[in-house]
Amino acid sequence: AAQFVASLQAGAGDASIPKPYIDALKIVCDKAPFRPFSDMAKVIEEDFGKPISEVFQSVDEEPLAAASLAQVHRAVLKDGTEVAVKIQYPGLLEQMASDFAVFRMFGQQIKPGGFDLTWVVNDFEVSISAELDFMIEGKNAELTGKDFAHQKYAKVPKVYWDLTTKRVLTMEFVTDMVPTNDAAKLRAAGMDPYKVGCMLSDLFAEMVFCTGRVHGDPHAGNVYCILDKVTKEERIVLLDHGLYHDVDNDLRRSFSDFVTACVARDGAKMKSLGERFAGPLYRFFPIILSPWFVFGSKIQLEDIRAAKEKRIPPGVKLKEVGEFLVGLHDTGGNLLGVLHSMGYIRGILNCLSFPERRRLKSFAKFAALGGAYEVEPRDEDKVPAEVLVPASAMAVVNVDILALLITVLAPLALVVLVLGKRTTAGIAAAILALILGTLYNHLY
């Protein structure tokens, strides 16, 4: 059941999914079925070795939220401080062991197109096992708090270590949180959805391209916004730090350079760096990040038609798709997991109708910064500002050029797709699109 709930959470913020499904899936983000309080109280008493009344002054029996592995209750410490207590469902570790035994059996037997799926099961088991240790989650939360201490708009609740175990996590209680994927609720709370989108886009771009530590589960039930009581400014609140994707320095810089090449429409670099990540399917990798990155890529008209018709592009084998996924997973830090997290954030931004142009400006800025780091970004020895500022500024300008290309050429691309390559009008549109694209590449 836990795995089922977790898999549904991914669909709760994707604008490509019909709204009725999105509304239904929102429930599992933080309103999944919960356990009776008596069951959860036993977990606290077992882990602390004393009655719950000796651990907390009081604990609300009705949970604030419930998800796949745990539920959260409001509690009050002996000194009167309000806290949020995350309590793991009892018996979960034992239940997971039997579930994964079944998954491994299916993974060994089901091999579509000869593609071995056992690595997916193994990876999932490692991730879930880490999430079941709340001590790891607490440490991840503290690291992220330090990584973004310079960004006043980012907030990670404080961990109370004396009241934290492997199955119980006690954290600062944050009030008046609003889901980041609900524009109407944000406005009602006095917050600007566009500004929230900017902060969220910047925050995760900095994670991916600069810190190298990426939140592994940023669905709408884990990413909230508050209005700071002092400054009256919006702040992003990050919850659930059980799963992180740690990207090694070499991969972080290469991925940053790849995105910078995509923004600059540098076809040669897009190919050479893309081959590292996607092998023979390198031409598809840019548009996984953004459809705007079609410029400079080796995507062909037949590839676009195949995508429109929901079929595999000509010349692409199912085995190659499997190798592509394995390659992304086996890079230094599991780039496949990073792309999964980026997909969550993109889904939230889609719910806010956040402009792709602004999302790519976050990419461009932080990819330029991340690619310039010669050392780990948390080291004291930073790249000089005179190197970083022009690089990030030029990257942002390149996004504006991309926007211009999209504005001019997108209608022509539609004509080509509708009329087909064999018609005179289709050929004329394709030639005009090619000429305009070449001119813009030379001019900019």
CATH number, domain containing residue 30: 3.30.200.20
Residues 265 and 377 in one domain: yes
10 and 68 belong to one structural domain: yes
Which among 221, 246, 271 is the end of a domain?
246
Q: Based on the domain organization, do 42 and 78 belong to the same domain?
A: yes
- The DSSP code sequence of 357-396 is HHHHHHHHHHHHHHHH-SS-TTSS-PPPHHHHHHHHHHHH
319 within domain boundaries: yes
By C-alpha distance, which of 391, 411, 408 is closest to 263? 391
- The 10 Å Cβ neighbour count of residue 119 is 13
Indicate whether 49 belongs to any domain. yes
**Is 346 within a domain?**
no
- Tell me: do 234 and 260 sit in the same domain: no
Domain around 321: 249-332+353-443
Instruction: Provide the domain count of the chain.
Output: 2
User: Quick one: which H or E segment has residue 87?
Assistant: strand 82-88
Task: State whether 32 and 145 are in the same domain.
Answer: yes
412 in the same domain as 393: yes
pTM over 0.75: yes
CA dist 362 and 18 (Å) reads: 27
From 204, 230, 246, the end of a domain falls on 246
pLDDT for 443: 40
Q: How many residues does the chain have?
A: 444
138 in any annotated domain: yes
Domain-embedded: residue 212: yes
Do residues 253 and 306 share a domain?
yes
Per-residue pLDDT of the chain (444 residues; tens, 9 = 90+): 333 333 334 444 454 555 665 555 555 555 567 899 999 999 999 999 999 999 999 999 999 999 889 999 999 999 999 999 999 999 887 787 777 777 777 766 666 656 666 777 777 777 888 889 999 999 999 999 999 999 999 999 999 999 999 999 999 999 999 999 999 999 999 999 999 999 999 999 999 999 999 999 999 999 999 999 999 999 999 999 999 999 889 999 999 999 999 999 899 999 999 998 888 888 889 988 998 888 888 887 777 777 777 777 878 877 777 777 777 777 666 788 899 999 999 999 999 999 999 999 999 999 988 887 654 555 444 444 444 555 666 666 777 776 776 666 555 555 544 555 545 444 454 545 444 444 444 344
Can you give the pLDDT at residue 1?
34
Q: Do 208 and 297 sit in the same domain of this protein? A: no
Whether 121 maps to a domain, the answer reads: no
Residue 315: partners with Cβ closer than 8 Å, 6 or more residues away: none
What pLDDT sits at residue 57? 98
Positions marked catalytic? 217
116-123 long-range Cβ contacts below 8 angstroms, 24+ apart:
116/322, 119/326, 119/329, 123/329, 123/334
The three-state secondary structure class of 24 is: helix
Residues 166 and 22 in one domain: yes
Q: Do residue 166 and residue 289 come from a single domain?
A: no
Q: Which of 226, 246, 266 is the last residue of a domain?
A: 246
Q: Are residues 230 and 268 in the same domain?
A: no
For residue 337, being part of any structural domain is answered with no
Residue 99: inside a domain, yes or no? Answer: no
Q: Both 297 and 231 in a single domain?
A: no
